[in-house]
Amino acid sequence: MPFDRDLSEEFVFIASRSSGAGGQNVNKVSTKVELRFDIENSNILSIDEKNVLKEKLANKISKEGILQIVSQAERSQLLNKERCIAKFYALLEKSLFKPKKRIAVKPTRAMREKRLEEKRLRSETKNQRSSKIKTEE
């Protein structure tokens, strides 16, 4: 279930200099991109969705209620921006996913018999192995 709403109008991007390897490019080009999304003041998300996100993404949300996602893997600001957006939507989908409720079912008589038969065959196999080892010694 992909996230069906466009939240891009509420994104705030901040570009800064990236750290790590990259030589002169790192020192002069601001390629690191930080996506900030204010969950509390979002007009697109429902109250329930906001509460779920605040609970599940608590370690990624600042005290002000802003979700921060950073990307600095690419040498291009545009590619890092696209990566941030992809991470954001993947995070939303994962957080807002509701698993189906499991319905408990008792095993049928045939299933019980099949399980016991498999156990019996496995036991025979193991017993035959142990008798082979004893005869070889």
Domain spans of the chain, in order of start: 8-96, 105-137
Residue 91 corresponds to which tokens in the numbers above? Answer: 């995070």
**Residue 95, amino acid:** S
State yes or no: pLDDT of 20 exceeds 50. yes
For residue 66, the cross-strand partners are 38
E strand or H helix at 71: strand 66-71
Q: Is the dihedral of CA 73, 94, 44, 49 positive or negative?
A: negative
Q: What is the pLDDT of residue 60?
A: 85
CATH of domain 8-96: 3.30.160.20
Residues 107-121: what's their mean pLDDT?
A: 96
- Output the pTM of the full model: 0.66
Q: What is the pLDDT of residue 77?
A: 85
Range from 36-40, 80-84, 95-99, 120-124 that averages highest in pLDDT: 120-124
Residues 32-42: what's their mean pLDDT?
A: 88
